[in-house]
Amino acid sequence: MESITKKRTKAILIDLAISSVVTAGVEYLLRKKVKNELVHTLVTPTVVMWGLEYAQLHCGGQTIGYKKMGIALESEEGSDLTTEQIFKRLLYRDTKSTLDLWKNRSSFEGEAGAVLPHDVFAGTIVRER
């Protein structure tokens, strides 16, 4: 596993921990109003994680985990991330990219871990800062 891939993994684990805490708070508030367990199991965690990640990436290209690990997400062209790039990346990462990893693990990382399949799809790259 490449150095930058290890940093990306640690960053997503940090972001997941933060998201879990926020999700627990949101779930506590929603539990009395929404009785459907599917919402609490699938919808709330996904919406919270994507919402937090979108807000952080849109405002500076880094999540809290990325900042701690010294990496940043950038557009391939060097411009600011667009809303479309962020959402394409989130959606692909949480769906198709997981299948790509299982199918062909050896070619999953590109450019020493800076580009994963969801980065290619969204036109983004992770760089060390």
Domain span holding position 71: 3-128
Total number of domains in the chain: 1
| Entry pTM | 0.85
Q: Token pair for residue 18?
A: 């933060």
The model's pLDDT over 6-64, given as tens digits with 9 standing for 90+, comes to: 999 999 999 999 999 999 999 999 988 988 888 888 999 999 999 999 999 999 889 99
Structure confidence at residue 107 (pLDDT): 62
Q: Token pair for residue 14?
A: 């940090």
Find the angle CA(8)-CA(17)-CA(120) to the nearest 5 degrees: 30
The DSSP code sequence of 38-63 is: HIIIIIHHHHHHHHHHHHHHHTTS--
**64 and 18 in contact (C-beta within 8 Å)?**
yes
